[in-house]
Chain A
Protein backbone atom coordinates (compact mmCIF):
# COMPACT_ATOMS: atom_id res chain seq x y z
CA UNK A 1 0.00 0.00 0.00
CA UNK A 2 2.83 2.38 0.83
CA UNK A 3 4.19 2.07 -2.70
CA UNK A 4 0.77 3.00 -4.08
CA UNK A 5 0.67 5.99 -1.73
CA UNK A 6 4.15 7.02 -2.85
CA UNK A 7 2.99 6.86 -6.48
CA UNK A 8 -0.01 9.04 -5.70
CA UNK A 9 2.18 11.54 -3.86
CA UNK A 10 4.49 11.69 -6.86
CA UNK A 11 1.61 12.21 -9.30
CA UNK A 12 -0.67 14.48 -7.29
CA UNK A 13 1.24 15.87 -4.30
CA UNK A 14 3.17 18.57 -6.20
CA UNK A 15 6.11 17.97 -3.91
CA UNK A 16 9.36 19.78 -4.57
CA UNK A 17 11.21 16.50 -3.79
CA UNK A 18 10.96 13.04 -5.39
CA UNK A 19 8.37 10.98 -3.50
CA UNK A 20 10.48 7.82 -3.63
CA UNK A 21 13.18 9.52 -1.54
CA UNK A 22 10.75 10.03 1.34
CA UNK A 23 10.89 7.68 4.32
CA UNK A 24 7.60 6.23 5.52
CA UNK A 25 7.60 8.50 8.54
CA UNK A 26 9.01 11.63 6.83
CA UNK A 27 6.98 14.78 7.54
CA UNK A 28 5.17 15.48 4.26
CA UNK A 29 4.17 19.02 5.24
CA UNK A 30 7.83 19.82 5.98
CA UNK A 31 8.69 18.24 2.62
CA UNK A 32 6.42 20.77 0.92
CA UNK A 33 2.97 19.17 0.78
CA UNK A 34 0.56 22.13 0.67
CA UNK A 35 -3.12 22.18 1.63
CA UNK A 36 -4.12 22.12 -2.04
CA UNK A 37 -1.63 19.32 -2.69
CA UNK A 38 -3.05 17.25 0.16
CA UNK A 39 -6.59 17.75 -1.22
CA UNK A 40 -5.50 16.28 -4.56
CA UNK A 41 -3.73 13.40 -2.81
CA UNK A 42 -6.89 12.76 -0.78
CA UNK A 43 -9.05 12.61 -3.94
CA UNK A 44 -6.56 10.29 -5.67
CA UNK A 45 -6.41 7.98 -2.63
CA UNK A 46 -10.19 7.73 -2.61
CA UNK A 47 -10.18 6.72 -6.25
CA UNK A 48 -7.27 4.29 -5.94
CA UNK A 49 -8.61 2.48 -2.87
CA UNK A 50 -12.34 2.92 -3.57
CA UNK A 51 -12.94 4.59 -0.24
CA UNK A 52 -14.41 7.85 1.05
CA UNK A 53 -12.75 9.59 3.96
CA UNK A 54 -15.29 10.81 6.52
CA UNK A 55 -15.14 14.58 7.11
CA UNK A 56 -13.60 14.14 10.56
CA UNK A 57 -10.56 12.46 9.00
CA UNK A 58 -9.88 15.26 6.51
CA UNK A 59 -7.13 16.93 8.49
CA UNK A 60 -3.39 17.53 8.35
CA UNK A 61 -2.54 14.82 10.86
CA UNK A 62 -3.85 12.02 8.64
CA UNK A 63 -1.79 13.31 5.72
CA UNK A 64 1.38 14.07 7.71
CA UNK A 65 3.43 11.08 6.49
CA UNK A 66 3.18 8.04 4.25
CA UNK A 67 2.63 5.89 7.36
CA UNK A 68 -0.11 8.23 8.61
CA UNK A 69 -1.86 8.08 5.22
CA UNK A 70 -1.61 4.27 5.18
CA UNK A 71 -3.09 4.08 8.69
CA UNK A 72 -5.92 6.44 7.69
CA UNK A 73 -6.72 4.43 4.55
CA UNK A 74 -6.72 1.20 6.58
CA UNK A 75 -9.01 2.73 9.18
CA UNK A 76 -11.55 3.74 6.52
CA UNK A 77 -11.31 0.30 4.91
CA UNK A 78 -11.84 -1.41 8.28
CA UNK A 79 -14.80 0.80 9.12
CA UNK A 80 -16.33 0.12 5.70
CA UNK A 81 -15.91 -3.65 6.19
CA UNK A 82 -17.39 -3.65 9.71
Chain B
Protein backbone atom coordinates (compact mmCIF):
# COMPACT_ATOMS: atom_id res chain seq x y z
CA UNK B 1 0.00 0.00 0.00
CA UNK B 2 1.43 3.39 -0.94
CA UNK B 3 1.99 6.06 1.69
CA UNK B 4 -0.47 8.49 0.13
CA UNK B 5 -3.29 5.95 -0.21
CA UNK B 6 -2.81 4.64 3.33
CA UNK B 7 -3.92 8.00 4.70
CA UNK B 8 -7.10 8.11 2.65
CA UNK B 9 -10.08 6.60 4.43
CA UNK B 10 -12.32 4.63 2.09
CA UNK B 11 -15.52 6.59 1.73
CA UNK B 12 -18.02 4.64 -0.31
CA UNK B 13 -19.57 1.38 0.84
CA UNK B 14 -17.86 -0.41 -2.05
CA UNK B 15 -14.43 0.96 -1.07
CA UNK B 16 -15.03 -0.01 2.55
CA UNK B 17 -16.08 -3.55 1.61
CA UNK B 18 -13.01 -3.95 -0.60
CA UNK B 19 -10.60 -2.44 1.92
CA UNK B 20 -11.95 -4.80 4.61
CA UNK B 21 -11.53 -7.78 2.28
CA UNK B 22 -15.27 -8.54 2.28
CA UNK B 23 -15.48 -8.07 -1.47
CA UNK B 24 -12.50 -8.53 -3.81
CA UNK B 25 -11.80 -6.13 -6.66
CA UNK B 26 -11.25 -7.68 -10.09
CA UNK B 27 -10.72 -4.47 -12.04
CA UNK B 28 -14.22 -4.62 -13.55
CA UNK B 29 -17.11 -2.69 -12.04
CA UNK B 30 -19.82 -5.07 -10.93
CA UNK B 31 -17.68 -8.24 -10.98
CA UNK B 32 -16.34 -8.94 -7.50
CA UNK B 33 -14.85 -11.81 -5.59
CA UNK B 34 -16.65 -12.77 -2.38
CA UNK B 35 -14.87 -13.45 0.90
CA UNK B 36 -15.76 -16.24 3.30
CA UNK B 37 -17.45 -13.69 5.56
CA UNK B 38 -19.65 -12.41 2.73
CA UNK B 39 -20.52 -15.95 1.60
CA UNK B 40 -21.43 -16.98 5.14
CA UNK B 41 -23.94 -14.10 5.35
CA UNK B 42 -25.45 -15.20 2.02
CA UNK B 43 -25.64 -18.83 3.15
CA UNK B 44 -27.30 -17.87 6.44
CA UNK B 45 -29.79 -15.62 4.65
CA UNK B 46 -30.61 -18.39 2.17
CA UNK B 47 -31.30 -20.69 5.08
CA UNK B 48 -33.63 -18.06 6.57
CA UNK B 49 -35.44 -17.86 3.21
CA UNK B 50 -35.84 -21.66 3.13
CA UNK B 51 -37.23 -21.68 6.68
CA UNK B 52 -39.57 -18.76 5.97
CA UNK B 53 -40.85 -20.52 2.86
CA UNK B 54 -41.91 -23.49 4.96
CA UNK B 55 -43.90 -21.25 7.36
CA UNK B 56 -47.60 -20.42 7.16
CA UNK B 57 -50.77 -22.42 6.68
CA UNK B 58 -50.35 -25.49 4.44
CA UNK B 59 -47.09 -24.44 2.79
CA UNK B 60 -46.35 -26.35 -0.37
CA UNK B 61 -42.95 -28.08 -0.38
CA UNK B 62 -41.02 -26.65 -3.32
CA UNK B 63 -39.11 -28.80 -5.79
CA UNK B 64 -35.50 -27.66 -5.56
CA UNK B 65 -33.57 -27.15 -8.79
CA UNK B 66 -30.16 -25.58 -9.39
CA UNK B 67 -28.73 -24.66 -12.78
CA UNK B 68 -25.36 -23.26 -13.86
CA UNK B 69 -25.49 -19.53 -14.73
CA UNK B 70 -25.95 -20.21 -18.42
CA UNK B 71 -28.97 -21.29 -20.39
CA UNK B 72 -30.08 -22.77 -23.69
CA UNK B 73 -29.84 -20.00 -26.29
CA UNK B 74 -32.98 -21.16 -28.10
CA UNK B 75 -34.99 -21.07 -24.87
CA UNK B 76 -33.61 -17.59 -24.23
CA UNK B 77 -34.64 -16.44 -27.70
CA UNK B 78 -38.14 -17.85 -27.35
CA UNK B 79 -38.55 -16.28 -23.90
CA UNK B 80 -38.77 -12.84 -25.49
CA UNK B 81 -35.95 -11.42 -23.32
CA UNK B 82 -34.47 -9.56 -26.30
CA UNK B 83 -37.79 -7.80 -26.82
CA UNK B 84 -37.82 -6.43 -23.32
CA UNK B 85 -34.22 -6.11 -22.11
CA UNK B 86 -31.76 -6.25 -25.04
CA UNK B 87 -29.49 -3.80 -23.19
CA UNK B 88 -28.95 -6.20 -20.28
CA UNK B 89 -28.42 -9.51 -22.06
CA UNK B 90 -25.09 -11.32 -22.10
CA UNK B 91 -24.57 -13.75 -24.95
CA UNK B 92 -21.65 -16.17 -25.15
CA UNK B 93 -19.49 -16.21 -28.26
CA UNK B 94 -16.43 -18.36 -28.99
CA UNK B 95 -13.70 -18.56 -31.56
CA UNK B 96 -14.69 -20.99 -34.29
CA UNK B 97 -12.07 -20.22 -36.93
CA UNK B 98 -9.22 -22.19 -38.51
CA UNK B 99 -5.42 -21.89 -38.23
CA UNK B 100 -5.33 -18.79 -40.41
CA UNK B 101 -8.12 -17.22 -38.36
CA UNK B 102 -6.21 -18.03 -35.17
CA UNK B 103 -3.11 -16.38 -36.58
CA UNK B 104 -5.12 -13.23 -37.43
CA UNK B 105 -6.64 -13.22 -33.97
CA UNK B 106 -3.22 -13.40 -32.26
CA UNK B 107 -1.87 -10.65 -34.50
CA UNK B 108 -4.77 -8.37 -33.61
CA UNK B 109 -4.33 -9.12 -29.91
CA UNK B 110 -0.65 -8.30 -30.20
CA UNK B 111 -1.46 -4.98 -31.87
CA UNK B 112 -4.22 -4.11 -29.40
CA UNK B 113 -6.78 -4.20 -32.19
CA UNK B 114 -10.32 -5.54 -31.95
CA UNK B 115 -9.79 -9.32 -32.16
CA UNK B 116 -13.43 -10.32 -31.62
CA UNK B 117 -14.59 -10.26 -35.26
CA UNK B 118 -14.29 -14.04 -35.61
CA UNK B 119 -16.15 -14.82 -32.39
CA UNK B 120 -19.33 -16.71 -33.29
CA UNK B 121 -22.47 -17.15 -31.26
CA UNK B 122 -22.66 -20.39 -29.26
CA UNK B 123 -25.73 -22.32 -28.09
CA UNK B 124 -25.40 -20.67 -24.70
CA UNK B 125 -26.32 -17.33 -23.15
CA UNK B 126 -25.79 -16.10 -19.60
CA UNK B 127 -28.82 -16.57 -17.37
CA UNK B 128 -30.60 -13.22 -17.01
CA UNK B 129 -32.94 -14.28 -14.18
CA UNK B 130 -33.03 -17.58 -12.30
CA UNK B 131 -36.51 -18.56 -13.51
CA UNK B 132 -35.90 -18.18 -17.26
CA UNK B 133 -34.33 -21.64 -17.36
CA UNK B 134 -37.31 -23.20 -15.64
CA UNK B 135 -40.38 -22.49 -17.82
CA UNK B 136 -39.52 -24.70 -20.83
CA UNK B 137 -38.56 -27.52 -18.46
CA UNK B 138 -41.92 -27.36 -16.67
CA UNK B 139 -43.77 -27.07 -20.00
CA UNK B 140 -42.09 -30.26 -21.22
CA UNK B 141 -43.48 -32.17 -18.25
CA UNK B 142 -47.05 -31.66 -19.49
CA UNK B 143 -50.13 -30.35 -17.68
CA UNK B 144 -49.79 -29.26 -14.05
CA UNK B 145 -51.46 -31.13 -11.20
CA UNK B 146 -54.57 -29.59 -9.64
CA UNK B 147 -52.53 -27.83 -6.93
CA UNK B 148 -50.09 -26.47 -9.51
CA UNK B 149 -46.36 -26.50 -8.84
CA UNK B 150 -43.75 -24.66 -6.79
CA UNK B 151 -40.01 -24.50 -7.48
CA UNK B 152 -37.04 -23.27 -5.46
CA UNK B 153 -34.25 -21.89 -7.65
CA UNK B 154 -30.96 -20.09 -7.15
CA UNK B 155 -28.54 -18.98 -9.79
CA UNK B 156 -25.91 -16.45 -10.59
CA UNK B 157 -27.47 -14.06 -13.12
CA UNK B 158 -25.86 -11.65 -15.56
CA UNK B 159 -26.98 -8.15 -16.47
CA UNK B 160 -24.80 -5.82 -18.47
CA UNK B 161 -24.94 -2.67 -16.38
CA UNK B 162 -21.47 -1.82 -15.08
CA UNK B 163 -21.69 0.48 -12.07
CA UNK B 164 -19.75 1.64 -9.03
CA UNK B 165 -22.86 0.93 -6.97
CA UNK B 166 -22.10 -2.40 -5.25
CA UNK B 167 -25.85 -3.09 -5.25
CA UNK B 168 -25.79 -3.12 -9.07
CA UNK B 169 -23.46 -5.99 -9.85
CA UNK B 170 -23.12 -7.48 -13.30
CA UNK B 171 -23.10 -11.00 -11.88
CA UNK B 172 -25.14 -11.66 -8.78
CA UNK B 173 -27.22 -14.42 -7.25
CA UNK B 174 -30.96 -14.56 -7.30
CA UNK B 175 -32.90 -16.98 -5.10
CA UNK B 176 -36.40 -17.54 -6.35
CA UNK B 177 -39.61 -19.35 -5.58
CA UNK B 178 -41.71 -19.77 -8.70
CA UNK B 179 -45.37 -20.78 -8.50
CA UNK B 180 -47.37 -22.24 -11.36
CA UNK B 181 -51.13 -22.76 -11.33
CA UNK B 182 -54.53 -21.10 -11.55
CA UNK B 183 -54.62 -17.28 -11.30
CA UNK B 184 -55.99 -17.55 -7.75
CA UNK B 185 -53.29 -20.01 -6.67
CA UNK B 186 -50.41 -17.90 -7.89
CA UNK B 187 -51.94 -14.65 -6.59
CA UNK B 188 -52.36 -16.21 -3.14
CA UNK B 189 -48.73 -17.34 -3.24
CA UNK B 190 -47.53 -13.83 -4.05
CA UNK B 191 -49.74 -12.19 -1.42
CA UNK B 192 -48.48 -14.63 1.24
CA UNK B 193 -44.85 -13.89 0.38
CA UNK B 194 -45.46 -10.12 0.46
CA UNK B 195 -46.46 -10.58 4.10
CA UNK B 196 -43.90 -13.23 5.06
CA UNK B 197 -41.10 -11.36 3.31
CA UNK B 198 -41.74 -8.21 5.27
CA UNK B 199 -41.78 -10.04 8.61
CA UNK B 200 -38.58 -11.88 7.62
CA UNK B 201 -36.71 -8.71 6.64
CA UNK B 202 -37.80 -6.87 9.77
CA UNK B 203 -36.10 -9.59 11.83
CA UNK B 204 -32.90 -8.50 10.10
CA UNK B 205 -33.17 -4.98 11.54
CA UNK B 206 -33.05 -3.17 8.21
CA UNK B 207 -35.48 -0.40 7.19
CA UNK B 208 -37.81 -1.79 4.51
CA UNK B 209 -40.75 -0.56 2.56
CA UNK B 210 -42.77 -2.17 -0.18
CA UNK B 211 -43.61 -0.27 -3.33
CA UNK B 212 -45.23 -0.79 -6.70
CA UNK B 213 -42.51 -1.23 -9.33
CA UNK B 214 -41.75 -1.95 -12.96
CA UNK B 215 -39.03 -3.81 -14.81
CA UNK B 216 -36.42 -1.80 -16.81
CA UNK B 217 -38.08 -2.48 -20.18
CA UNK B 218 -36.10 -1.03 -23.09
CA UNK B 219 -37.06 1.91 -25.30
CA UNK B 220 -40.42 3.44 -26.17
CA UNK B 221 -42.23 0.12 -26.31
CA UNK B 222 -40.75 -0.40 -22.86
CA UNK B 223 -42.43 2.79 -21.66
CA UNK B 224 -45.78 1.24 -22.45
CA UNK B 225 -44.85 -2.08 -20.83
CA UNK B 226 -43.70 -0.24 -17.69
CA UNK B 227 -46.97 1.70 -17.51
CA UNK B 228 -49.03 -1.45 -18.05
CA UNK B 229 -47.08 -3.34 -15.41
CA UNK B 230 -47.69 -0.58 -12.88
CA UNK B 231 -51.36 -0.07 -13.83
CA UNK B 232 -52.04 -3.73 -13.20
CA UNK B 233 -49.98 -4.00 -9.99
CA UNK B 234 -47.93 -6.86 -11.42
CA UNK B 235 -44.64 -6.06 -9.66
CA UNK B 236 -43.88 -5.07 -6.10
CA UNK B 237 -40.43 -4.55 -4.64
CA UNK B 238 -39.17 -4.50 -1.09
CA UNK B 239 -36.72 -1.64 -0.91
CA UNK B 240 -33.86 -1.02 1.51
CA UNK B 241 -31.60 2.05 1.40
CA UNK B 242 -28.05 0.91 0.55
CA UNK B 243 -26.23 3.43 -1.67
CA UNK B 244 -28.78 6.18 -1.19
CA UNK B 245 -31.64 7.10 1.14
CA UNK B 246 -33.61 8.78 -1.64
CA UNK B 247 -33.24 5.88 -4.04
CA UNK B 248 -33.46 2.72 -1.96
CA UNK B 249 -32.47 -0.60 -3.55
CA UNK B 250 -34.91 -3.35 -4.48
CA UNK B 251 -33.82 -6.41 -2.47
CA UNK B 252 -36.88 -8.61 -2.88
CA UNK B 253 -39.37 -8.60 -5.75
CA UNK B 254 -42.83 -10.08 -6.04
CA UNK B 255 -43.98 -10.62 -9.59
CA UNK B 256 -47.23 -11.79 -11.12
CA UNK B 257 -46.61 -12.70 -14.78
CA UNK B 258 -50.29 -13.49 -15.49
CA UNK B 259 -50.27 -15.89 -18.46
CA UNK B 260 -47.16 -14.35 -20.10
CA UNK B 261 -44.88 -17.36 -19.59
CA UNK B 262 -47.85 -19.74 -19.78
CA UNK B 263 -48.65 -18.52 -23.28
CA UNK B 264 -45.00 -18.30 -24.35
CA UNK B 265 -44.23 -21.87 -23.31
CA UNK B 266 -47.61 -23.57 -23.60
CA UNK B 267 -47.89 -24.19 -19.85
CA UNK B 268 -51.20 -25.92 -19.16
CA UNK B 269 -52.99 -26.32 -15.83
CA UNK B 270 -54.93 -29.42 -14.69
CA UNK B 271 -58.09 -28.22 -16.49
CA UNK B 272 -56.33 -27.59 -19.80
CA UNK B 273 -56.25 -23.80 -19.36
CA UNK B 274 -53.12 -21.71 -19.86
CA UNK B 275 -51.28 -21.67 -16.53
CA UNK B 276 -50.44 -18.46 -14.70
CA UNK B 277 -47.13 -17.92 -12.93
CA UNK B 278 -45.72 -15.73 -10.19
CA UNK B 279 -42.35 -15.52 -8.52
CA UNK B 280 -40.70 -14.04 -5.47
CA UNK B 281 -37.05 -13.17 -5.98
CA UNK B 282 -34.37 -12.43 -3.40
CA UNK B 283 -31.33 -10.43 -4.49
CA UNK B 284 -28.82 -12.26 -2.31
CA UNK B 285 -25.88 -9.88 -2.69
CA UNK B 286 -28.19 -6.89 -2.19
CA UNK B 287 -29.55 -8.29 1.06
CA UNK B 288 -25.99 -9.00 2.28
CA UNK B 289 -24.94 -5.45 1.30
CA UNK B 290 -27.94 -4.00 3.15
CA UNK B 291 -26.88 -5.92 6.27
CA UNK B 292 -23.26 -4.67 6.03
CA UNK B 293 -24.51 -1.14 5.37
CA UNK B 294 -26.87 -1.00 8.36
CA UNK B 295 -25.02 -3.18 10.90
CA UNK B 296 -21.39 -2.50 10.02
CA UNK B 297 -18.56 -4.46 8.49
CA UNK B 298 -17.90 -6.66 11.55
CA UNK B 299 -20.52 -9.42 11.52
CA UNK B 300 -19.62 -10.44 15.09
CA UNK B 301 -20.75 -6.99 16.23
CA UNK B 302 -24.14 -7.13 14.50
CA UNK B 303 -27.18 -6.77 16.83
CA UNK B 304 -27.99 -9.95 18.78
CA UNK B 305 -31.47 -10.24 17.27
CA UNK B 306 -30.05 -10.08 13.76
CA UNK B 307 -27.37 -12.65 14.55
CA UNK B 308 -30.03 -14.91 16.07
CA UNK B 309 -32.26 -14.64 12.98
CA UNK B 310 -29.33 -15.61 10.75
CA UNK B 311 -27.09 -17.88 12.78
CA UNK B 312 -29.69 -19.19 15.26
Instruction: State the A residues within 8 Å of B (CB).
Output: 34-36, 38-39, 42-43, 55, 58-61
Report the interface size class on chain B. Answer: 10 to 19
Q: Is residue B58 within 8 Å, beta carbon to beta carbon, of the partner chain?
A: no
Could you name 26 residue pairs across A and B whose Cβ atoms are closer than 8 Å? A34-B263, A35-B224, A35-B225, A35-B228, A35-B229, A36-B80, A36-B83, A36-B225, A38-B224, A38-B228, A39-B224, A42-B221, A42-B224, A55-B220, A55-B223, A58-B220, A58-B223, A58-B224, A58-B227, A59-B227, A59-B228, A60-B227, A60-B228, A60-B231, A60-B232, A61-B231
Q: Is residue B34 within 8 Å, beta carbon to beta carbon, of the partner chain?
A: no
How would you classify the secondary structure of chain B's contact residues: helix, strand, loop or mixed? Answer: helix
Closest to B230 in A: A59
B225 near A39: Cβ-Cβ < 8 Å:
yes
Q: Which B residues lie within 8 Å of A38 (CB)?
A: 224, 228
Report, nearest first, the 8 A-B pairs whose CB atoms are least far apart: A58-B224, A39-B221, A35-B228, A59-B227, A58-B223, A55-B223, A60-B231, A39-B224
Taken together as a complex, chains A and B put the C-alpha atoms of A39 and B221 apart, in Å, by 6
A-B CB pair tally, cutoff 8 Å = 33
Q: Which B residues lie within 8 Å of A43 (CB)?
A: 221
Q: Is residue B260 within 8 Å, beta carbon to beta carbon, of the partner chain?
A: yes
Taken together as a complex, chains A and B put the C-alpha atoms of A55 and B228 apart, in Å, by 12
Q: Which A residues lie within 8 Å of B224 (CB)?
A: 35, 38-39, 42, 58-59
Closest to B80 in A: A36
Q: Which A residues lie within 8 Å of B231 (CB)?
A: 59-61
Quick one: which of B35-88 are within 8 Å of A by CB? Answer: 80, 83
Taken together as a complex, chains A and B put the C-alpha atoms of A34 and B229 apart, in Å, by 11
Q: Which B residues lie within 8 Å of A55 (CB)?
A: 220, 223
**A58, chain B: closest CB distance, angstroms:** 4
Taken together as a complex, chains A and B put the C-alpha atoms of A35 and B223 apart, in Å, by 11
Closest to A56 in B: B227
Q: Which B residues lie within 8 Å of A42 (CB)?
A: 221, 224
Taken together as a complex, chains A and B put the C-alpha atoms of A57 and B80 apart, in Å, by 24
Q: Which B residues lie within 8 Å of A39 (CB)?
A: 221, 224-225
**A12, chain B: closest CB distance, angstroms:** 12
Taken together as a complex, chains A and B put the C-alpha atoms of A16 and B116 apart, in Å, by 44
